[in-house]
A = this chain, B = another copy of it.
Amino acid sequence: MMVKNGSVIYVAHPEKTIDPSVHTHYVEDSIDLDNVPLNGGVLLKTMYLSSDPYMRYRMRDPSQPAFVPPIILNDPIDNFGVGQVVRSDDPKFKPGDYVYGYLEFSEYFVYPGKIHHEYKFPLTKIEKLPNVPLSVYVGTLGMPGTTAYQALKYFVTEKFKTAKTMFVSGGAGPVGTFVIEYSKAMAPHLKIIASAGSADKVKIMQDAGAEVAFNYKEQDTFKVLREHGPLDIYWDNVAGPTLDAALQNFRDGGLIIACGAISQASHDDSSVVRHFDEIFKRSLTVHGFVVATGESAAAAPHFFEDVVPLVRAGKIRSREHRYVGLREAGRALADVHTGANTGKAVIVVSEE
């Protein structure tokens, strides 16, 4: 059966922000679902695609080194996603199975049997949880959740025992709300301060359990932290001036998880850190963390056994900003870079 097959192609490197109409291009082709050769791979129907801030680092001139592989010009974009098996050459999968993997931004495509791409980890079969959309696998149970879970579990478990106050920046995104909710579940005594850039995001952070939630565009971060600190833990999703404000409001011996630096993706003057010296003056520890590349989120030890019960109990919840249709994918990529989305940015390619 021949069907239309839309795709989103990467067509130009952004200098600073992403302009969907300049840097991405939606194209339509057709695909023969019954006869397209699989070569040991699996034909997938794409359901959900993730848009994540780190993608900005992939959208670059490939001559520039970075911690993630570049997206190739004039190829379809790819990222974490959820799909359904249409046909399979791989005995581990049968038609109808739901899978999680590193998917092309196409309605249909063949997930290769042999993996060359650094991110093309083997597909993982996933289970549908009752009353939770499968898109949870690109958010709470996907890369953002794994990121938050692993760093909290490895680096913060001990500190939870004595910490009084924690600050989370980028607190309304999928990593931020996971951090707030998981920390509350592990350390109910903890006072959590959380920042983001809109009134809607403030509501999300309050809903997630932050005692002090504020809009950094309207309130001065330094003053809020001075009033509600000092900090024992800072989960840093943004770096730049927010980090500077946190550094000056830490208790001695505090802990920073450096998990993102969106303000630094383009290294302009607004993104510099001026108070690094507080790290030695206050004897702080900083753990930089990026979720392991080249492995499935599902490979994090104990991730599903620890987190799925919290999801089922409603203690860790997903909040999504849905972009319907591949034509909206470029907008989804741009929004997570500027913060225009509210909740986990999910591109809905086909409904469940």
Residues on A lying within 8 angstroms of B by beta carbon are: 66-67, 239, 243, 258-261, 264-265, 267, 271-290
Q: Would you call A283 and B273 a contact (CB within 8 A)?
A: no
26 A-B contacts (beta carbon < 8 Å):
A67-B281, A67-B282, A239-B276, A239-B277, A258-B280, A259-B280, A264-B275, A264-B277, A265-B277, A267-B274, A271-B274, A272-B272, A272-B273, A272-B274, A273-B274, A276-B276, A278-B288, A279-B288, A281-B290, A283-B287, A284-B286, A284-B288, A285-B285, A285-B286, A285-B287, A286-B286
Q: A288 touches which one: B243, B272, B285 (CB < 8 A)? A: B285
What are the residues of chain B within 8 A of A282 when measuring CB–CB? 67, 288
Minimal Cβ-Cβ distance residue in B for A68: B281
Q: A261 touches which one: B66, B243, B260, B277 (CB < 8 A)? A: B277
Minimal Cβ-Cβ distance residue in B for A256: B286
* Alpha-carbon separation in the docked complex, A259 to B239 (Å): 21
What are the residues of chain B within 8 A of A289 when measuring CB–CB? 280, 283
Majority-rule SS of A interface residues: loop
* Alpha-carbon separation in the docked complex, A161 to B239 (Å): 32
* Alpha-carbon separation in the docked complex, A67 to B281 (Å): 6
What are the residues of chain B within 8 A of A260 when measuring CB–CB? 280
* Alpha-carbon separation in the docked complex, A214 to B220 (Å): 43
What are the residues of chain B within 8 A of A279 when measuring CB–CB? 258, 286, 288
Minimal Cβ-Cβ distance residue in B for A274: B272
What are the residues of chain B within 8 A of A271 when measuring CB–CB? 274
Given known contacts A66-B281, A281-B67, A282-B67, A264 and B290 CB-to-CB distance under 8 angstroms: no
Which 9 residue pairs are nearest across A and B when measured between Cβ atoms?
A261-B277, A279-B288, A286-B286, A67-B281, A272-B272, A264-B277, A280-B288, A273-B273, A258-B280
Q: Given A67-B282, A259-B280, A265-B277, 12 other A-B contacts at CB below 8 A?
A: A239-B276, A258-B280, A260-B280, A264-B274, A264-B275, A267-B274, A273-B273, A280-B288, A282-B288, A283-B288, A283-B290, A285-B287
* Alpha-carbon separation in the docked complex, A243 to B243 (Å): 17
Q: Would you call B288 and A261 a contact (CB within 8 A)?
A: no
User: Measured between C-beta atoms, what is the minimum distance from A291 to chain B in Å?
Assistant: 10
Minimal Cβ-Cβ distance residue in B for A279: B288
Given known contacts A66-B281, A282-B67, A285-B285, A276 and B290 CB-to-CB distance under 8 angstroms: no
Minimal Cβ-Cβ distance residue in B for A291: B283
Q: Would you call A261 and B290 a contact (CB within 8 A)?
A: no
User: Measured between C-beta atoms, what is the minimum distance from A27 to chain B in Å?
Assistant: 32
* Alpha-carbon separation in the docked complex, A284 to B290 (Å): 10
* Alpha-carbon separation in the docked complex, A67 to B250 (Å): 12
What are the residues of chain B within 8 A of A280 when measuring CB–CB? 258-261, 288-290
What are the residues of chain B within 8 A of A239 when measuring CB–CB? 276-277
User: Measured between C-beta atoms, what is the minimum distance from A41 to chain B in Å?
Assistant: 30
* Alpha-carbon separation in the docked complex, A21 to B284 (Å): 37
What are the residues of chain B within 8 A of A258 when measuring CB–CB? 276, 279-280
* Alpha-carbon separation in the docked complex, A289 to B57 (Å): 32
* Alpha-carbon separation in the docked complex, A315 to B285 (Å): 30
* Alpha-carbon separation in the docked complex, A282 to B290 (Å): 8
